[in-house]
Structure 1
Amino acid sequence: MKRLSILAGGLLMFSAVLTSCRDTAEKETIVREVEVEKEVKTPEEVEEKEGILERTAKEVDKEVNKEIDEEIDKIGDDN
């Protein structure tokens, strides 16, 4: 029994040595450069993709900025 286990262990070690020393085929990596054209969108196309909330928020933002500018002008320059 002991002789069989030594023989099996030797066979496993021998097979491990043979498989670990194999040459592996190197894989060649090919890199290709591809040009991507960027699309130039008109403001109308951008608005079409925006929802009603985004358009409304922009309009409100403009109005708030106008009011803030008016208040700043009323306060004037402290210097």
Structure 2
Amino acid sequence: MKKSVILILAMIFSLSIYSCRETTQEKTEEAAEAIGEDIEAGAEEAGEKIKKGAEKVEKKVKEEIDEEIHETDDVNNEEATDDAA
């Protein structure tokens, strides 16, 4: 009878350890998914900021090119007369 009690206790102990392991594994998987989602959101945000910055640069470059073509550069609040001089 003593062996049966020890065997039953050993089985209960084994089951409790196994269930704890599954819980830990589930929590780890959930944490990994959350990290992945955070990385994805951060990458999307960075991409949007880069795109907005590129659009600003593109607009400014177009303005500068237009000013050069039409000789309307405004340097030190004065109209540019000749850039070659």
| TM-score (normalizing by structure 1) | 0.34
Considering fraction of residues, name the structure with more strand: 2
Larger radius of gyration: 1
